[in-house]
Amino acid sequence: MKTHEDLDLWQRSIDLVVNVNSITDLLIEKKKFELVKQMNRSAISIPSNIAEGAARSSDKEFIKFLYYSLGSLTELETQLIVTNRLGLIDNNKIMVELNKIKQMLLGLIRFFKN
């Protein structure tokens, strides 16, 4: 691995940030500002923690930041479930991508743990 930017996981999580920002634009129209802010914070935290962890000096530290990313991802997942249940947005497509990123993240954690 050269840098975090070479990780497919990081690249896909950047795409997720863009997709989340697109759907939160719909929530702004519905005046759900607090939910928008929280979803955007959760989304940007995923690739940010991957990048920060990759810049650390040890695998142990990288794993710690991958877990931070996982926490942010599950936080975003919860927020998307809430928006869906409230009937605010149809987020099935983004949930599929989120689950793929979760699988990739867990796989990378397993890789570095072994």
Residue-range definition of the domain harbouring residue 53: 4-113
Query: pLDDT class for 14, splitting at 50, 70, 90?
Result: very high
Under 8 Å between Cβ of 64 and 53:
yes
Quote the number of domains for the chain: 1
Higher pLDDT, 108 or 2: 108
Under 8 Å between Cβ of 75 and 42:
yes
pTM given for the model? 0.88
Q: Provide the greatest CA pair distance for the chain.
A: 46
Q: Give the CATH number for residue 70.
A: 1.20.1440.60
Q: What is the mean pLDDT of the chain?
A: 91
Least confident of 24-33, 35-44, 47-56, 63-72: 24-33
